[in-house]
Each structure stands twice: as structure tokens, then as C-alpha cells.
Structure 1
Amino acid sequence: MKNTLLIILFSFYLLDVFPQSQTLLIEENKSKYTVGKQFLNIFEDKTRFLTVTKALEESFVPSTMDSPNYGYSNSAFFTKFFVKNAQNKPQDIWIEVDYPSLDSVSFFVLKDNQIVKKNNTGYGLPFSTREIKTKNFVFVTHLEPQEEQTIVLRFRSKRNTTFPITVWKAETYTESNSSGYLGLGLYYGIMLAMLFYNLFVYTALKEKSYLYYILFILSMLLFVMSFNGHGFQYLWSNFPSFNAVNIPFFIALLIFNSLNFGREFLSVAQRMPKANRVLEIMMLVSFLIIVLSLLLPSRTSTMMAVFMGLPSVIILVYISVVSLKKGFRPARFFTLAWSIFLLGSFITALRSFGILPYTFVTVYGIQIGSALEVVLLSLALADKINTLRREIAQKALERERVEKEKEQREFITEQNKKLELLVEERTRELAEQNKQITDSIIYAQRIQKAILPSKNQIVQAFPETFIYFKPRDIVSGDFYWFAERDNKIVVAVVDCTGHGVPGAFMSMIGNTLLNQIVLERGITRPAEILNQLHEEVRFALKQDEILEEGAKDGMDIAICVFHQLHNILEFAGANNGMYLIRNNKLEEIKGDRMGIGGAKRGVERNFTNQIIKLGKEDTIVYLASDGFADQFGGESNKKFMAGSLKKLLLELNDKSLKAQHLQLNKVMEEWRGSYKQIDDQLIVGFKIKPTASRQKAEIRIKETSTEERKTDIPHKFTR
């Protein structure tokens, strides 16, 4: 009892590990049977040379797939299954192998272990060897009521080895497959319609993109017909040897035309030169595969073509996406079309390598993807033509605009030439006039320089002296004045209203009036000099009669008188002051805050006379106009300022007057930089040596002792 139980358990174990295939029963109410893992047994003949009799002696194993797919294999495969007519009437059954690219297919019917029927056909044999003239391999056998037969099939292929097997009742095969043929007919209809439509458009437009697209559709159509077996069925049925090369040949041809069409459609040569070089290299490789497909073994060339196909589609999708990002509108249809085709090709490729099972989608992925692709690419071409038309229209408008602009430019150029001639003529006239004016101003400059005191006069009075004088224009509104009378030395720095020619006229008036007041009238008291100068300027300019701009003309002045015998310095200023440096300290003697000239406005002007007693030490005196302090410059383009000038003078105290002059000039040049000089600049500096000055005065007194000395009687102002 115990041994019997063990035998039963072991039997169940064997049945579970090595399941036995069942017999396929042909029943009354069913017309289609998939011979899959439930019924099919498979033996792999790695030698490829076993006969069916020898193969049947080997161990067959049940199929693990409903649609066996071994990818690219060098082996031959025997399959067998058992079929029984379970009806009470005779039945013809059709056994279909739904993969038309198998090189060799042998069909055997065994009854009581005897071969009662056989048929050898395949993709490598003439189409006439097929029992049923259809793209797939279909074999017929007859079953009497309750009769059982063994069906054996042998497959061998240099390409993908897959053999989905279906058993049909004879009367339902044609009816059932009509839907499949309807789908393929629809596909071929779409492809042919797109082919002839684009041929018509190309004939009308002569656009190269349409020609390349026609070649692309044609190569796609031939590839799919070859892949589906319809090419062999309808086009080269008497040339089975072409079947050994047609798949890689048409794949490579399709790749070449796809790359060429994409390159032209997306204008890659103009838009992306680097990508264009990549496409040219890939086109060259695909052309080489076309040639090699006629020379190399089918499996090798097919794998080369398949591995070349996927990168080609990917690079086209990438370029179209980049073009779309750059604003090329038709690229959106192109991107979508190739993405769909890429997906279909990828699914089919995975099925070819045995990674995906044999299903409707994996078998017809390329057909589905290519049909959608050609429709979308036709839309893309139409969109491109519309875009080109808009661009052409826009370019036409642009050309018209450019031509009008050219005409306008020519007209303007002609007018400019006339104007240039007129301007040139007028410029010559103005240049001549300007030369005359400039010559006159230069002559005025010589006159102005002539009336200024010579430096030798000042040096005789003050051996250590400098005059920093930098007019803004050719002639200046600033001037310096010098005189000696009764052992008194008079020095003045005058800043007249304005600069250039107007300022120069005022300086002539000021110089003349100072000569009259000091040299002719003998006035040496600084405050009185300014009082009389103010009245004389107002009289000369008729400022009592003029109420507007002329009433503002006048001058600012700093004037000092040095008494040589008494070592006293008198000073008066109209808006300008005086700087003294003694004992290494700077003193500022400020003038009155009112100028010379201008309307009275109800106020009588009396300038303040200031007396400075000098010691035995040397004293440096500086008189300056406001031009130096008011000059803009530096990094912030701001004024130099009077405070900076005082600081600079104090720093230069230990240098000679000549060195001070040079340093003042250097500092101002660096400060001004590239900025324009805004006003005349004048600084007069001299050193008073009390002992030397007194000695000179005493010598002069002795020389004139025989003459009657004049007394300093106040001069009554008269006009």
C-alpha cells in the first residue's frame, strides 16, 4: 500500500514537471484554434540535418509560448501536435503559419506513425510551391469523423525564427482572414494615395522635399510588402533568391531615403551644420549596407540594417525637436510622425529578437506606425509649403521695402552730395571768415599782452615772483596789474565779467581805468582805488541807463599796496581775497562781498581798507581769481575748491616760487584731465623781503633828493 502511494505521488510530480501536451479536438461550434503551449511540442535540431523520421525519435518538449519566437537562431526546429476530428462528419482543416519570412517550412501529416502527406515550401522557394496561394504558409489536411492525426512542421530561417501556428476549419479561413486583408488593403491604399498625391504636388511645385518624400514612401511600401510577404506574392514570386536579401536591402534603402528626406525637409544644412555632417555620414553608412546586403549573409546584413535603423530614427527625432525649439513650425508634425514610427519599429525589433511575444501589435507595429507617419509627414510638407509661401510673400514685401529704401537712399545720397557741395562752399567761406576773426583775436591777444606789465618790472620789485596765467580762450577776461609810486608797490589781480573776447574788452577798460586812478591821479590807497574804479566802470558802461544784462557787467579784484619804507601791506578786495604765508602759516585776508560795477540798487559802495604790519620774516603774498578753484575735474568731476587751493599753497611753502609755479600747473593738469577748462585762471605770487625792499627804497630816495618831493595829498574825485 505504501509503495503504491509513492508511485502515484511520483507520477503526479512527473506530470507537473514535464506536462504532456493535449490533443487538439476539432469541435462543431468552434472554427479557429491557436496551437500554443497547450498543444504544441518542440524539438530544436542544432545540427540542422535531421530528417523528420530521426527527429521524431528525439525528445520533444512542450512549448512555453503560444507564439514560439527564437529570434535569430542557426538551429532548425521541429514541432508536432495531435489533432482529432471530434465531429460526426468529415472535416478539412487548414494549418496556418502566420510568419511569411521563414526560409524553409516542411509540412508532414502522420497517421499510425506513417507519413501520409508532406509539402516543402518557404521564403527561399518559388511561390508556386505553396499549397494555398497566400502570403502566409497554409497547409491542408482531411480528417474523417473521430480520426486523429499527428501534424509535424519543420522550420529553418536565416532571419528571425518565429512560427505562430493556427488551425482553421476550411470554410471559415477565407472569411476570417478577409478582415486582415482589409486592414492591409487599407494600409496599402493609404501608402499609394500618399505616393500619387505627393507625386502630383511635386509635378506642380518642383519642390525637392516632395521628390525625396516620394522616394521615402516608395521605399517604405516596398519594405512593408517584403516584410509581410506580399512582395514575394505579387512582385517577385518567380525570384525566390531575392528573398534572401530583400529585407536588409529595403531596410537600408528606407534608412537612406528617410535621412535624405529629413535632411532636406528640416533644412539641416542651413540650420545645423554639425548635425548635417552626422546625417551625411549615416547616409553613407546606409548606402554601404545597401551594397553589402547583396554580398553578405542575410542574417548579418539584416542585423546591420536593424541596428542602423533605430539610431537613424532617433537622430531624426532629435533634430526635429531642436528645429521645433528654434521656431520651425512644420517640425511639430515631423517630430510626431517619426516618434510614432520609432515606437512601431522599436516594438517590431524587440519581437524580432524574441524579447516581445508574437501579437497583432508586435507583428504589424511598423505598418501601423508607417501609415500614421506618412499621413503626418504629408501634413508636415503642406505646413512647410504654407510656411514657405508666407516666407516668400514676406521676402517679396521685404524686397519691395528694400528697393524703396534703396531708392530713398539714392535720392538722399544725391541730395547729400548737393548739400555737401553747398556745405563745402559755405565751409570755405566760414573758414575764411573764421580765419579772419581768429587772426583778429590773435592780434587782440598781442595787444592784451602788450598792455600787461612785463614780468621784468615785477621781478625788479620782487625778485622771487611767479605768474600762473592760463586763459580759457585766446584772449582773457583775467589780467594782472602792477605799478610803483612813492616807494609803494601796487599789485592787482582782476577777474572781469565773462571770458574770451567780451572779457578781454572789460580787461582793457579795467587796465585803462587803473592807470588813470593810480598813475595819473596818484591814488595808492587800495580801498579808494576800488571806490573810484567802481564809479568809473559804471560811468563807462552807462549802467545807470541800462537796467538789464548790461547792469551786471563789472569785475572782481584783489589789490594790495606794499610800503617799502614802513614794511606795511595794505589790501582791499571786491569779492576776492589775499593769502599770506609767514612763519609757515597761511592767513586769508578776505575782501568785501561786492564787486566792481553794476547797478547801485540804492546802496553806496565803500570798500574796506585793511592794513597788515609785516615783521622781519619773509612773507609770501598770493592774489588769485576764482578760475583755479572753480575748475571741475578729478574722479567725481567736482570743483577743485578754494580750501584745496589754500592747502596746496601751504604744502608748497618750502619750495621756490618758480617750483611752486610748475607744481601748480602740474596739479591743475592732472585734476582737469580730459575735462574742459571752464574759466580763465590767474594766480600771482611774490615774496616780500623787508630788509631788501627798504634798502631799495632808501637808494631811490637818495637818487631823487635833489628833486622836490611830492606829498601824498588826497585826490578829490572829479570826472
Structure 2
Amino acid sequence: MHRMPYFSIPGCRKPILLIALFVIGVFGHAFPQRTVEIADSQDQHMFIGDEIQYLEDTTGGYTLAEILSPALNGRFVNSRTNTPQNYNLKSTYWYRIRIRHNPESGKNWVLEFFDQTIDDITAYSPDGHGGYVMRRMGDQLPFRNREYAHKNFELNIPNTTAYDGAYYFRVKSHQTADAIIVLRSVNRFIQYALDEYFIFGIFYGMVLVFSFYNLMMYLAVRQVQYLYYVLYNLSVGLFEMCIDGIAYQYLWPDAPHWNQYAYGIALYGISIFALQFTRTLLYTHKKAPVLDRIILGIMVLRTLFFAVCLFIDTDWFSYKFVELVPLAVAFYTGIYIYRKGYHPARFFVLGYTFLSIGFIHKLLLMLHVDGLNFGVVTYYSLSICFVLEMIFLSFAIGDKVRVLKTKKDKAQKQIIHQMRLNEKLKDSLNSRLEAQVEERTREVLEKSAIIEAQNQELTEVNALLQKQKEEILQMNRLLEKDNEVLHTNVVKVTQARVMSAEVDFEEFSRIYPDNDSCFRFLAAMKWGSDAAGDHYECRKCGHNHYFHGHSPHSRRCAKCDYDESVIAHTIFQNTRIPINKAFYMVFLMYTTKGKISSHKLSEILSIRQGTCWAYASRIKKVMQDRRKEIAASRSGEGWSLLVLDHSFETA
């Protein structure tokens, strides 16, 4: 703090001072400026209207001595609005207020600048003896240089002598600054500061609580909209801390250069994460593809503008009105999606309604629209709207989760209902098969009874038996053929049941008890059997004559000696698990339509889960490739359609 007596100012002499006082007195009557008196009956007073005057310094080079000169001192004019601003960002502005000091006051007094975003404030306070005391303030200076460790700029008022003093403030800022100057008692300042920091604690506490809760939800359900919502909330919190001056006080007190563009980085985060949150919450890529492309385009343009501001001219960060574009697009998107019937969007629209009200209110205040100042509520209107928006956006996320849960429950009920229908169908099929087996058994018993009666009759009539020997032998042959056909039919019925029904591994093993039975089945499928006719053809040369190969049921070409194993060019090729278990795994995958898990397969077959997963994936691919063939298959073909794996065939 520097003391500057009036006679120490270069070029200033007592006669000149008398002339200056005379001119000021003349112009004071012509353009009177009201003087504010210090009084204990009023704890605070805000300078408005004709209580604060200003002078624009377009060159930025005026000194206090020049300002006190009659030529410039008479050019101070009353503020056109209650809150004057630096309309021309390239100019320096001088503000003047007058205070009538009252040494009989029992309180200490301070002058406070509300706008903590001002870059540079040089205050010239009268000392009551014709001199001035200079003090520099502003957010481009380290925080420790402040007279009070508070987010705003405070200046002590000496009040030991009764006099009318003129206070001059030289203000320079790269962004629009409000010259909100308040005269306060220290007691009122402390009370106000405590109340304000308490409100800040509630607001930023809510931001952290909402962010932490949604972060936990993201880690639990892995829904990306939770993560975007957390980043959006943190960006809002950082922006509010930059605007309130809390970030400078607590986060980077020794880095004042950050104050010039930190808020711009936070605003960029708000725009980008808000738009990304809108896209993921409202499914714009499906429900509104055109709006989704518009949102992506705005994100790209906003990123380019951010890069220009960051690397070319940081003063462009002060054009905060550009944030109205992402806000308007997100708001319109919510309304559009809601009108299309997506109910979770209603909370989204409600939240952005409050946020839009806050932005519009702030914009109208910047344009000095009268009738919109409601005291403390006005100052914190945007913060209040941010809180309301956070609450309703949380409701929107919760509503979306509720809708997804409802759809999931409905799908599960449909699956359970279908499983019950499948169970009934399976029981019906088993009942029919049992009835057929019972009928065949009854026929066999009837035939056996006839044979027994005939044998008894033949025993009693030995003579007739001898004569009818040939006939009986013929009948026995016929009966043997019937038994063979019956046995074959029983086996076929069992095989058909294995092909199309769910059986356990024990029953399945009765049909394919060992490797030889499995290989025999594969050989019949590939080349046919002796009874059904042979259609062997060498894959190398096309020759159709063969010899038995080296491995069981393999065939070696009689012409080129190409030896083809029975599992070559089947789904069991290169399979290292027992062939009968591989058969059963194909059967289980087919009967469950690929829905059985690898853990269940491992439990049933006593095979490692990883092996089951790898082989089951291979079977699923074949089922997917042959879904049309399977759908059009005849009854009884069953899982055998999956055996010949054409993907293994060579050209």
C-alpha cells in the first residue's frame, strides 16, 4: 500500500489544486454526484445511479494526477445504469464515489467489489489530509496480496476524521466487469461472508454428492450416461467455482493466470458433456438421427472454437453467449424425443427448462432489463437452476433405468412362458413315444402267446408236428424277422428320441456307448453303410474304390492312397475331448438352441469350462450358418444336421 500526497503528484501545485476544486464545485452543481454518509444505522450501502460516476480512458494511460486535473475530473458522468460496466473491453475505466466520513461511528468499515472476475483494480483512497493511498487488487494478482482472505475484493476505510472524500478506482479487465461497489461495516461483512460460504458449501456439496452417487451407479451398471453426467456435474461445479472466486481462493491461489481462462475450459466441459449426456440418455442415434448428427456437428464446432480461444486468443472465452447454442439444441432434443413417446425425457425437459430460465435471466440482467433484480436470489439464480437441473436429470436417469427394468422383466416372463410351453410339448412327445412302445410291446406279447399255444399244440400232436415241421420252421423265420424289425423299430424310436428330445448322458450313452459306435455312425453319415449303399468318393482324385485305412472306420483310396479318417471334415475334427462326450455336447447345444452355458456343459460332461466354451462357440457358429437348414429339417434329423461341418472341407 502506497501513500500519495496531492502535492507529490508531478505537475500539481496548490494554485492548480484550488482551481481544480473550484471547477469541480461548479460542475458538481451542474452534474451533482450524491455523497454517501457513513452511519451506524445502516450496515451496508450499494452505490448505484448518481452515487457512482465513471470516465472511459481509451488510451489506458491516465494517471491519478491527470484524473484530478480540471480537464478530466469534470468529464466524469453519472452511470446510466444501477450497475456500470466496462462496455469497451479495450478501454480502462475510472470510477468515482464520494463518502462522508463520520468518526463518531462505532464500527469499522470496508469497501467491497462484488465482481471477483475483474483483472486489475487500482484503488486510490483519500487519507483525509489531501493525499491518496493506493492499493492494487484483481484476480491477476496472487491471492495472498488481498487485504482480506475472501473471494471478493475488500478495502479498509479509515474513519478517524470527519471529511467528504472522493474515492477513485482504475479498472481494467479482459471480460465484461460489473462495478458493484458496496460500503459495509466489518460486522456485516463477516456475517455475509459466513452465510455465503455456508451456501457455497451446500451447493458444492450437492455437486459432489450427485457426482459420487452417479459414479457408483456407473461402476455398478456400466451405463455410459452416468459417466457423462458425472463429468457434466464436475464441469458445472468448476465453472461456478471460477465465477464465484472459490477456485482461485482454494484451488490455485498462486496461479492467477489460470483465472483468465479456467472458466472457459469449464464451460467447454459443460457443453460437450451435456450434449454427450443428451445423446446417450435419449438414444438420439436411433430415435432422432438428424438431431444426433446436428449435435455431433455442434460438438465439433464448439471444440474448434475452444481450440481458437485456448491457443490463439484467450479473451474470446468471455463470449459466454455461445453456450446458448448447445443449451438450446439439447433442450429442443429433449422436447422432440418426449413428444415421440419416450417418457424418461420428461424429467430431462423439466431440468433444462429451469436451466434455460437461469441463463435467460442472467442474459437479461446483462442487458440491464429492469424489474429482474430480486436480491440474493438474483445473484445465485443460475446456481439454483443448476441444482434443480441436476435433481431432475437424476430423475431422468432413474426413470430410464426403471423403463429398462420393466422391459427386462417382461422379456423374462415371456421366456418363462415359452419354457413352460416347451416343457409341455416335451411331455406330450414323451407320452406319445411311450404309448407307441407300449403298443409294440403288446403286439410282441400277443405274438408270443400265439407261438406258445402253437408249441403246446405241436407237443400234444407230435405226429402233426413232424408233418408241419417245415411250416413251423417257416413261421419261426417270419417271427424272427418280426422280432428283428421290432427291435430295429425300438432302436429307431430311441434314436429319434435322442435326435429330437432332451435325454441325460446315461440314456444317450446307450445309443453311442463307445468310440466304435460313434465312428460307425459318422462313417454311415459320410459314406453310407453296406445296407444303405455306399457313396464313397476320394476327395483327392475322385476315385470311388477304397480299402480300409489305418484308423478305425477310415478309408484309403485304392488309386492315390489318400487315407481319410472318419472324423475328418466333420464338426468333430481336431476335437480332443472323448468322441461320445463331443456327440452329447452337440446334442445338448442343439436341443437348447445354443442357450446352455459353458458352465453347465462343464458340470454335465466333467470337462474344463474353457474347453466347453471353445467347442460350444464352434457349434454355435455351425448352428447359425445352418439355421435355415435346421428350420426346414424333417422330423428325426435333429442334431445330426450339425455333424458334417462343410467349413472344414477342402477345395
Which band: TM-score by shorter chain? 0.5 to 0.7
Shift of 1:202: 2.0
Equivalent of residue 325 in structure 2, options 307, 311, 316: 311
CA separation of 1:48 and 1:15: change in aligned 2, threshold 3 A: closer
Judge which range, 149-158 or 139-148, deviates more: 139-148
Contact kept in structure 2, 1:90 and 1:142, CA below 8 Å? no
Q: Distance in 2 between matches of 1:288 and 1:91?
A: 53
Q: Distance in 1 between matches of 2:93 and 2:104?
A: 34
Shift of 1:412: 12
Q: Which residue of 2 aligns with 1:194?
A: 210
Matched, 1:155 2:155: no
Matched, 1:168 2:184: yes
Equivalent of residue 53 in structure 2, options 37, 41, 54: 41
Q: Distance in 1 between matches of 2:334 and 2:323?
A: 17
Shift of 1:183: 2.4
Contact kept in structure 1, 2:128 and 2:161, CA below 8 Å? no
Q: Give CA-to-partner distance per residue, 1:465-496, whole Å, 9 cap, x none.
A: xxxxxxxxxxxxxxxxxxxxxxxxxxxxxxxx
CA separation of 1:136 and 1:92: change in aligned 2, threshold 3 A: same
Q: 2:55 corresponds to which letter in structure 1?
A: F
Shift of 1:28: 2.5
CA separation of 1:325 and 1:410: change in aligned 2, threshold 3 A: farther
Matched, 1:27 2:39: yes
Q: How does 1:542-691 map to 2 (within 5 A)?
A: none
Q: Which residue of 2 aligns with 1:325?
A: 339
CA separation of 1:320 and 1:405: change in aligned 2, threshold 3 A: farther
Shift of 1:116: 3.3
Matched, 1:373 2:389: yes
CA separation of 1:310 and 1:117: change in aligned 2, threshold 3 A: same
Q: Distance in 1 between matches of 2:131 and 2:103?
A: 23
SS of the residue aligned with 1:256? helix
Shift of 1:272: 1.1
Shift of 1:297: 2.5
Q: Distance in 2 between matches of 1:192 and 1:318?
A: 28
Equivalent of residue 74 in structure 1, options 83, 86, 90: 90
Going by fraction, where is helix more abundant, 1 or 2? Answer: 2
Q: Which residue of 2 aligns with 1:220?
A: 236
SS of the residue aligned with 2:81? coil
CA separation of 1:352 and 1:294: change in aligned 2, threshold 3 A: farther
Q: Give CA-to-partner distance per residue, 1:526-568, whole Å, 9 cap, x none.
A: xxxxxxxxxxxxxxxxxxxxxxxxxxxxxxxxxxxxxxxxxxx
Q: Distance in 1 between matches of 2:419 and 2:87?
A: 67
SS of the residue aligned with 1:293? helix
Q: Distance in 1 between matches of 2:313 and 2:364?
A: 21
Q: Give CA-to-partner distance per residue, 1:315-365, whole Å, 9 cap, x none.
A: 111111122122212111100101111111222234345567876455323
Matched, 1:86 2:102: yes
Shift of 1:105: 1.1
The normalised TM-score by structure 1 is 0.52
Q: Which residue of 2 aligns with 1:177?
A: 193
Contact kept in structure 1, 2:123 and 2:134, CA below 8 Å? yes
Q: 1:310 corresponds to which letter in structure 2?
A: L
Alignment root-mean-square deviation, CA: 2.9
Q: Give CA-to-partner distance per residue, 1:587-633, whole Å, 9 cap, x none.
A: xxxxxxxxxxxxxxxxxxxxxxxxxxxxxxxxxxxxxxxxxxxxxxx
Q: Distance in 2 between matches of 1:160 and 1:410?
A: 79
Going by fraction, where is strand more abundant, 1 or 2? Answer: 1
Q: Which residue of 1 aligns with 2:63?
A: 51
Equivalent of residue 346 in structure 1, options 360, 366, 376: 360
Q: Which residue of 1 aligns with 2:512?
A: none
Q: 1:34 corresponds to which letter in structure 2?
A: M
Q: Distance in 2 between matches of 1:51 and 1:110?
A: 16
Contact kept in structure 2, 1:249 and 1:293, CA below 8 Å? no
Q: 1:328 corresponds to which letter in structure 2?
A: Y
Q: Distance in 2 between matches of 1:131 and 1:217?
A: 33
CA separation of 1:308 and 1:35: change in aligned 2, threshold 3 A: closer
Structure 2, unmatched stretches of 5+, are: 1-25, 431-651
Q: 2:220 corresponds to which letter in structure 1?
A: A
SS of the residue aligned with 2:158? strand
Structure 1, unmatched stretches of 5+, are: 1-13, 415-719
Equivalent of residue 140 in structure 2, options 121, 124, 129: 124
Shift of 1:139: 1.0
CA separation of 1:270 and 1:81: change in aligned 2, threshold 3 A: same
Equivalent of residue 111 in structure 2, options 95, 100, 104: 95
CA separation of 1:226 and 1:405: change in aligned 2, threshold 3 A: farther
CA separation of 1:407 and 1:156: change in aligned 2, threshold 3 A: farther
Contact kept in structure 1, 2:128 and 2:163, CA below 8 Å? no
Q: How does 1:237-248 map to 2 (within 5 A)?
A: 237-248=253-264
SS of the residue aligned with 1:161? coil
Q: Distance in 2 between matches of 1:88 and 1:242?
A: 44
Q: Distance in 1 between matches of 2:105 and 2:329?
A: 60
Equivalent of residue 288 in structure 2, options 272, 290, 296: 272
Aligned residues: 400
SS of the residue aligned with 1:150? strand
Shift of 1:397: 2.6
SS of the residue aligned with 1:108? strand
CA separation of 1:406 and 1:74: change in aligned 2, threshold 3 A: farther
Q: Give CA-to-partner distance per residue, 1:45-85, whole Å, 9 cap, x none.
A: 11122122222331211223322234563221111112122
Q: Distance in 1 between matches of 2:382 and 2:88?
A: 19
CA separation of 1:88 and 1:145: change in aligned 2, threshold 3 A: farther
SS of the residue aligned with 1:162? coil
Q: 1:331 corresponds to which letter in structure 2?
A: A
Contact kept in structure 2, 1:36 and 1:66, CA below 8 Å? yes
CA separation of 1:401 and 1:113: change in aligned 2, threshold 3 A: farther
Q: Which residue of 2 aligns with 1:260?
A: 276
Shift of 1:277: 0.7
The higher radius of gyration belongs to 1
Q: Distance in 2 between matches of 1:410 and 1:311?
A: 62
Q: Which residue of 1 aligns with 2:481?
A: none
CA separation of 1:402 and 1:351: change in aligned 2, threshold 3 A: farther
Contact kept in structure 2, 1:108 and 1:115, CA below 8 Å? no
CA separation of 1:153 and 1:410: change in aligned 2, threshold 3 A: farther
CA separation of 1:113 and 1:276: change in aligned 2, threshold 3 A: farther
Shift of 1:166: 0.3
Q: Distance in 2 between matches of 1:148 and 1:226?
A: 37
Q: 2:236 corresponds to which letter in structure 1?
A: M
Shift of 1:145: 4.5
CA separation of 1:167 and 1:413: change in aligned 2, threshold 3 A: farther
SS of the residue aligned with 1:389? helix
Matched, 1:390 2:403: no
Q: Distance in 1 between matches of 2:412 and 2:364?
A: 51
Shift of 1:103: 1.0
Q: Distance in 2 between matches of 1:108 and 1:15?
A: 21
Q: Distance in 2 between matches of 1:300 and 1:226?
A: 16
